[in-house]
Amino acid sequence: MKLFQKILIGFVLGAILGAIWGPGIVWVKPVGTIFLSLLKMLIVPLIFSTLVVGVASIADPKKLGRVAGKTIAYYLITTAFAIIIGLLLGNIIQPGAGMNLVLEGAAKEAAKAPSLIDIVVNLIPTNPVGAMAQGTVLQIIVFALFFGYAMTKAGEKGAAVLKFFEGFAETMYKLTGTVMGFAPYGVFALIAVTVGTHGLAVLIPFAKLIFAVYLGVIIHEVVVYSGMVSIIGKMSPIKFFKGFSEASLLAFTTCSSSATLPVSMRAAQDNLGVSPTISSFVQPLGATVNMDGTALYQGVCALFVAQAYGIHLGLGGQLTVLLTALLASIGTAGVPGAGLVMLTLVLTSVGLPLEGVALIAGIDRILDMARTSCNVTGDAACAVVVAKTEGELVEVKK
Ligand code: ASP
């Protein structure tokens, strides 16, 4: 049986058992936690080694600049599309209409918007080992870029270091494969706990919101990603989604772009034919800054909260949501629930009550599953597009 089929079976069995057993199912939680820890264990050494090798293989700083430019442009454009889809659906479906909530109590504290200067200054690690210890992905990426570049300048001695990192990266890939063998059990436990603790009844008042977010994510994937991979990447969307399905499903259950990263990189390279050079740059970067699903969700949720409290959000307000959701999604960490925290930022920007966050919190996990899956799929679509335009996409026959 293929791994994907096993994971799917784990998923379905977990959901059924969670629904039958209810909250008592939490005893399987440690299995899910162990699986998540195994995935997280891979992240830092995997990103660092593959990126160092990737930079060394690009070597030419012009090409590196070009790849970075294309990647960032792609990320910004697709995220803006996602928010527009979210806002459109929020206006059409009106998920919060009829909730007639009244404000009471003091407002919660909002998350602070990171200023652009702070973002840039914080890119440089004062201590690379510290950045690795804390898993600060952007700083690790920056150090790896410098390190890989310097290595190519260090002649024969640098070549020896490259050889070491090539072996290191290969070892990390093998380890990823080993950890994935455990995925069916991990996914089973994670989904059983989610379904068991949420139950199905809490979903009813939020059915429209859940529907809007799921529909938005599906539209975004089918229209934007299919369009990008087929028009620019010259790859059939079916092949794309099929080749990436294992990673999408894993993101859906773990609700973490970061934890899914090792698996999404493997899927892009082995199943979609993206060169390790492109994949090791585009995907770790995307897992931290490119969150289309999160941005879309923030667009829908802003309207949901406005409608639930009977507050009118005009065109100007919605444009502000577009801009802040774009920034907020860049600042969102690839961990479960981070998008909900950043939603406070979006709500504050247009003066919506932060009580809205508490309202959504109860069902956020359900929304997180869809948005995280979309987030990682977006990174893979970008990897395909950039690889194609750089002549780094090979045909995979499977
Ligand atoms: N859980 C999401 C992710 O890891 C972030 C979010 O909460 O929106 O991609």
DSSP per position, 180-215? HTTHHHHHHHHHHHHHHHHTTGGGGGGHHHHHHHHH
Tokens of residue 123, six digits: 């890119």
Of 297, 375, 376, 379, which is best to mutate to test ligand 1, by the most ligand atoms within 8 angstroms of its C-beta? 375
Q: Name the more confident of 277 and 99.
A: 277
Q: pLDDT class for 106, splitting at 50, 70, 90? A: very low
Token pair in block for residue 99: 């909730």
Ligand 1 pocket, residue 331 CB under 6 Å: no
| pLDDT average, residue stretch 277-302 | 93
pLDDT in tens, 176-204: 889 888 889 998 998 888 888 877 666 67
User: How much is the average pLDDT of 326-333?
Assistant: 83
Ligand 1 center–CA 106 separation, angstroms? 27
Q: What's the rounded Cα separation, in Å, for the pair 108 and 353?
A: 8
Q: Residue 335: CB within 6 Å of ligand 1?
A: yes
- As given in the structure block, the two tokens for residue 135 are 């898993």
pLDDT digits (tens, 9 = 90+) for 115-157: 668 778 888 999 999 999 988 877 888 898 899 889 988 889 9
pLDDT at 301 over 60: yes
Least confident of 90-99, 193-202, 224-233: 193-202
Radius of gyration of the chain (CA): 21
Ligand 1 near 291 CB (within 6 A)? yes
Task: In whole angstroms, give the CA distance from residue 77 to residue 90.
Answer: 20
Given a contact cutoff of 8 angstroms between Cβ atoms, the answer to whether 180 and 3 are in contact is yes
**Residue 337 zone, left/alpha/beta (φ > 0; ψ -120 to 50; rest):** left
- What pLDDT, on the 0 to 100 scale, is given for residue 396? 85
Query: Cα–Cα distance between 268 and 261 in angstroms, integer?
Result: 10
| Per-residue pLDDT at 99 exceeds 80 | no
For residue 329, the ligand 1 atom closest to its alpha carbon is: 8
What is the per-residue pLDDT for 109? 55
DSSP per position, 31-50: HHHHHHHHHHHHHHHHHHHH
pLDDT (tens digit, 9 = 90+) per residue, 205-218? Answer: 788 999 999 999 99
**Which letter does DSSP use for residue 100 in this model?**
-
Q: Is the pLDDT of residue 250 over 50?
A: yes
Q: What confidence tens digit (pLDDT) does each residue in 359-383 have? A: 888 788 899 999 999 999 999 999 9
d(CA 342, CA 294): 9
Q: How far is the CA of 332 from the centre of ligand 1 (A)?
A: 7
Mean local confidence (pLDDT), 149-174: 90
Largest CA distance in the chain: 71
Q: Which atom of ligand 1 is nearest to the CA of 376?
A: 9
- Better-predicted residue by pLDDT, 274 or 47: 274
- Compute the distance from residue 368 Cα to the ligand 1 centre, in Å: 6
| Ligand 1 atom having least distance to the Cα of 258 | 4
Question: Distance from the CA of 369 to the center of ligand 1, in angstroms?
Answer: 8
Q: Choose the residue to mutate in 294, 340, 342, 365 for probing ligand 1, maximizing ligand atoms within 8 Å of C-beta.
A: 294
Cβ of 337 less than 6 Å from ligand 1:
yes
Whole-prediction pTM = 0.83
Q: How many A from CA of 251 to the centre of ligand 1?
A: 9
* Alpha carbons 288 and 123: distance in angstroms, whole number: 12
What spacing in Å lies between the alpha carbon of 397 and ligand 1's midpoint?
A: 32
Measured in angstroms, how far is the CA atom of residue 114 from the centroid of ligand 1?
Answer: 17
Closest-CA residue, ligand 1 atom 6, reads: 339
Q: What is the DSSP string of 101-160?
A: ----SPPPPPPPPPPHHHHHHTTS-S-HHHHHHHT-HHHHHHHHHHHHHHHHHSHHHHHH
